[in-house]
Amino acid sequence: MLQHLILSFFPRIKTSVPAGKRVLSLFFLGMMSLLPFQTSVAQHTSPAFSVDFSGEALPEALQKVAALTSADLIYDPRIVGTRPVYRRVRGNTTAELLTSLLQGTQLDFIILSSGTFVIVQSAQRPPDFGAFSGQVVDAATGEPLQGATVMFADASGGTVTNRSGFFSINNMMSGRHELIFSFIGYEAVRKTIEVDGNDTTRERIPLNPKPLDVNPVVVSAHRSMLPASWHHETAEARSLWSTGDRHQCAVQSLSLFSGVQHGLPLSDTHIQGAQRGEHRMYLDGMPVYNPYSFGQLLSAFSPFAISRVELEKAGFDASMGSHIAGSIGLKHAVSPQHGENLIWQADPLSTNFFGSASHTTPTGNRMNLMAALRSSVWDIFEDPTLSGTLSEWDAIDPMLYSLISAQGLTSAGMRSFQPVANASNIAFYDVHLAGSAELGAYRRINFSLYSGLNEVETDVLAREQFFEDGFMFSRDHYNWQNTVAQLGYDWVVSPRLDLSFQAGFSGNRMRHNYIMADNSVFAALAGEMPLSDAEVFSLYRENLGHGALQHDRNEIRHFLGRADADYAINPRLSLSAGIQADFVASSFDLSSLFYLPAGDEQRSGHFSTYLNTHFSLPGPWRFTAGSRLTRLTGSNQTFLEPRAQAQYDRQKSAIGFWSVRVAGGLYRQFINQFDITNAGPSSIVPSFTIWAHDSRLPQPRAWQGSASFLSEPAPGTTIRLEGWLRHQPTGYITSYDRLLTDSGHTREGFDAFAEITDLNSWGGSVRLNQQLMGNSLNLLLGYDYSYAEINMQSQFGRVMPAPWNQPHSVQARVMGHLTNNWTVSGRWQYISGRTWGFRQAYYDFLMMHNVHGIDRFDFTQPEADRLPAYSQFDLSVIYTRSIGITQLQTRLDLVNLMNRRNIIDRGVHAHAMHEDGTQELSVYDRRMPGFSPSLSIQFSF
């Protein structure tokens, strides 16, 4: 009777087996069941059936199981619902398959006497709930991995790790669960864990590094929640894949990644078309101001001190702070690996030392310490390639000299100089000290200290070519000092609550001096005494006080304290919140050789808080929505920054794994950077920086959105597409009208050097990574398009293409792991569409002195002043060998192997004087170095 009622009310899933064959099959099976089978026959070494489900609705999954096993199955649609299924189901019989499929659904089944399976609600007592927490670490070093993803295998929820690699998931049904632990640059781990009711399960999860072409690892904002190939790849040592130019460091690796413009000497880092000062660089969570050595040629950090770089671009969430373009987060290489590690490395520019040690207490807690030191070797050995380049770059520009000198600038009287003596001095060092200590199962304290000094100085003596036999001497000197210190504490209070605290300091001081001396100084010093060029050069250098002096000074000090909390309501819903207090003091002073004097001292406090809601829907959907509130001392304004993100991951599809992410919101900035163009005729560094944070002014703001797409259509193939759009109705730029003309503005504060404007930018990029020959060969291809425009009414009277923009950028990289000892890598970069081809001082300094051009050269149309395409190919050969307890690495870097002398910018000079006194003007180029080989040696203990 029950059977007839069930069959009359519930739908039956028909199989494709004809009725006659089913009767014969049942008869045959019944007869076979009477035979005395051996026990071993009933045992199977592996399940007979295996079915993968990737988001199918439960009724569809039930139908597949019924079709696979030729079983009759009925159910009530109201009970089953349409919940998605993300699971691999295995079993030898229909009953085993259904048991696996219905696990955790509060559904069960009964078998009627006819053999029909009926899905019913489970009569068992509701299960207990527990929690699972732990730490995700690097398997090779033990280093905690911040931002690693912890997801249920069926994509029903998950979380990410905090700054110390800790995670916690509460409200988990007791029993077995499959979780996937993943992080960019590491092999994902799929693990089955057992959760006890009313208890917390704890575990440490190590992830193995993947074969990488970049060291350190660079992590982008779009991270897939479901790894595409978690079960097929093997890991190899990262050191064998470490590539790049001879100045390996964390910052240099940024040029490989979409939306980041970096790598050309004398050009700074720009993120997605934004200005240089519209992103911030962080070291262990603390801002680093002017993080460059030798102007903008080298990074300010030891190549061994930084282990990880984290990029946040358009669309970052409210917890990341207030910046227009994004952030670059650097992490110190604090390794908990047992034992001691010591590295010494030397190359033609510097020598590096790195050491680390760890200790495990009797209670099982780890303590880790690292130290790194880098120092220049210019006093011992002057790199001939770099020395020759500096001699070319500090040549005296006749246009700038003639305008500044008493003679003035005319097309018939331009002074032209031929260098007769040069001297350069480069000095830099940086010291890193960092450590961490575990204070129990889920408490960790960490600290770091960084101090760096960078100094560059060039002297040049030049002789006039066409006029009286006179000299021109100049010295260009720069000094930057950085200090960063921080102390942090992380605590997993419970499976629901995660707390982090940090306090720190960051400071930067810049000093710039430019000295000029002409014939009158020489006459006063030497009189009628005949001197050689070398003696004249020494005479000028020993009597610098007689020349005209430009002195520029800038200093910023930033104290920061913050607290962050993450609270998990359930595996699908969590909240993150934080408070932060910033106290900033800065000062600047510009003297009056090139610009009108300007100066100011500023102090401000910024108090901010944020709240984010993270939630996921059934299936691989994840959303983040939140906002940041900031209040500035000195004003009664509170600034709101709403932001949101949405991400969808698809594990299996016709195109393989893919993931899409859209994000955007309102972004503001309260500490602003301004670049002042160097007007010195022989300046090496194109600009110097000052900082401003005036709460009484309109604060920069931008609306921006981004979309990105990741795909892995086949094992070893990864495709990334990215697009972004930014509208910035309020922004700041340096005002050369105010720096160079007495237009009634005060000579103190913001009005002395800056003005408000608007900017817009957009672009897109594509990256293709391909691994071949079992990961022994790695290929990367990339293309970036960028457009940025800026309103420059006060200077040009119209909207202009941004000076820093590089419209088209193509790059290719190939890397081969030939043997266990040999690695070869090649990198090619191509950039086209660069404009603003003359020296920036022509547009910023000459234009504001009403010099709109000279002869046939016009400086009023920068967008028409195009530079030739930039192209460079670098090749590196790395040999690694173990010698006892020592590992030797020898590295040969063939930089600019094709010896292409790429143009940085251009100037105008007089290259000939006619008998009638007229001059013939032409363009001269400042070029990058040609072919530059370099050999470095590294010992690791």
Residue 132 pLDDT > 70: yes
H-run or E-run covering 68: helix 58-69
Structure token pair of residue 422: 């040069």
pLDDT digits (tens, 9 = 90+) for 824-845: 989 899 999 999 999 999 999 8
CA–CA separation, 114 vs 717, rounded Å? 51
pLDDT for position 145: 81
The sign of the torsion formed by the CA atoms of 652, 655, 659, 661 equals negative
pLDDT for position 668: 95
Can you give 290-342 as a three-state secondary structure string? CCEECCCCEECCCCCCEEEEEEECCCCCHHHCCCCCEEEEEEECCCCCCCEEE
pLDDT for position 702: 96
Name the packing angle between helices 94-101 and 58-69 (round to 10°): 170
User: Do residues 98 and 61 touch, judged by C-beta distance below 8 A?
Assistant: no
Residue 230 pLDDT > 90: no
3-state secondary structure of 390: helix
3-state secondary structure of 580: strand
pLDDT digits (tens, 9 = 90+) for 581-612: 999 999 988 876 788 888 888 999 999 999 99
**Which residue type sits at 546?**
H
DSSP letters for 867-906: PPPEEEEEEEEEEEEEETTEEEEEEEEEETTT----EEEE
Residue 681 pLDDT > 60: yes
pLDDT for position 156: 64
Burial (CB < 10 A; 0-12, 13-18, 19+), residue 270, is buried
User: Which positions ≥6 away from 525 have C-beta within 8 Å?
Assistant: 539, 540, 543, 546
Mean pLDDT value of segment 413-427: 84
The sign of the torsion formed by the CA atoms of 197, 194, 93, 99 equals positive
Tell me the backbone φ, ψ of residue 79, rounded to 5 degrees.
-80, -45
CA–CA separation, 45 vs 43, rounded Å? 7
Quote the mean pLDDT of the chain: 82
Structure token pair of residue 244: 């790049």
Q: Where residue 765 falls among pLDDT bands split at 50, 70, 90?
A: very high
pLDDT for position 24: 39
Residue 246 pLDDT > 80: no
Report CA Rg, the chain: 33
Residue 622 pLDDT > 90: no
CA–CA separation, 62 vs 101, rounded Å? 8
Nearest to 347 by CA among 488, 245, 195: 245
Structure token pair of residue 654: 């016709």
CA–CA separation, 285 vs 140, rounded Å? 24
| C-alpha distances out from residue 197 to 72, 313, 435, Å | 36, 42, 37
Q: Where residue 859 falls among pLDDT bands split at 50, 70, 90?
A: very high
Structure token pair of residue 273: 């078309």
User: Do residues 548 and 514 touch, judged by C-beta distance below 8 A?
Assistant: no
Nearest to 370 by CA among 162, 186, 560, 141: 141
Structure token pair of residue 316: 């970052």
The sign of the torsion formed by the CA atoms of 241, 246, 250, 254 equals negative
Angle at 624 between CA 326 and CA 151, to 5 degrees: 105
pLDDT for position 416: 80
Among the residue ranges 130-134, 725-729, 763-767, the one predicted with the least confidence is: 130-134
pLDDT for position 293: 67
Tell me the backbone φ, ψ of residue 25, rounded to 5 degrees.
-65, -45
pLDDT digits (tens, 9 = 90+) for 355-403: 988 888 888 788 899 999 999 999 898 888 888 888 888 888 888 888 8
Tell me the backbone φ, ψ of residue 425, rounded to 5 degrees.
-140, 125
Residue 315 pLDDT > 80: yes
Tell me the backbone φ, ψ of residue 434, rounded to 5 degrees.
-150, 155
CA–CA separation, 695 vs 634, rounded Å? 6
User: Which positions ≥6 away from 594 have C-beta within 8 Å?
Assistant: 404, 514, 550, 679, 680, 845
Structure token pair of residue 145: 């991995």
Helices (H), 335-430: 384-393, 398-404
CA–CA separation, 404 vs 188, rounded Å? 63
Name the packing angle between helices 519-526 and 533-542 (round to 10°): 90
Among the residue ranges 44-53, 68-77, 198-207, 495-504, the one predicted with the least confidence is: 44-53
Mean pLDDT value of segment 31-59: 58
pLDDT for position 250: 63
Residue 360 or residue 629, greater confidence = 629
Structure token pair of residue 271: 């993120």
Pairing relationship of beta strands 306-312 and 217-219 according to DSSP bridges = parallel
Tell me the backbone φ, ψ of residue 520, rounded to 5 degrees.
-65, -35
Give the domains, in start order, of the chain with CATH numbers.
Answer: 2-121 (3.55.50.30), 129-234 (2.60.40.1120), 251-695+702-940 (2.40.170.20)
| C-alpha distances out from residue 658 to 314, 420, 447, Å | 21, 62, 38
Helices (H), 708-772: 736-740
pLDDT for position 621: 84
Q: Quote the percentage of the chain above a pLDDT of 70.
A: 84
pLDDT digits (tens, 9 = 90+) for 702-745: 999 999 998 888 888 889 999 999 999 999 998 888 888 876 66
Buried (b) or exposed (e) across 543-561, using 16+ Cβ within 10 A? ebeebbebebbbbbbbebe
User: Do residues 411 and 377 touch, judged by C-beta distance below 8 A?
Assistant: no
User: Which positions ≥6 away from 654 have C-beta within 8 Å?
Assistant: none
User: Do residues 871 and 890 touch, judged by C-beta distance below 8 A?
Assistant: no
Give the best-scoring range by mean pLDDT among 207-216, 334-343, 553-562: 553-562
Among the residue ranges 284-288, 560-564, 712-716, 811-815, the one predicted with the least confidence is: 712-716
> Tell me, what DSSP letter sits at residue 594?
S
H-run or E-run covering 4: helix 2-9
In this prediction the pTM is: 0.80
pLDDT for position 338: 46
Nearest to 432 by CA among 444, 454, 416, 448: 448
Burial (CB < 10 A; 0-12, 13-18, 19+), residue 738, is buried
CA–CA separation, 479 vs 6, rounded Å? 87
Structure token pair of residue 30: 């019944």
Q: Where residue 26 falls among pLDDT bands split at 50, 70, 90?
A: very low
CA–CA separation, 701 vs 724, rounded Å? 16
User: Do residues 401 and 689 touch, judged by C-beta distance below 8 A?
Assistant: no
User: Which positions ≥6 away from 39 have C-beta within 8 Å?
Assistant: none
Q: Quote the percentage of the chain above a pLDDT of 90.
A: 29
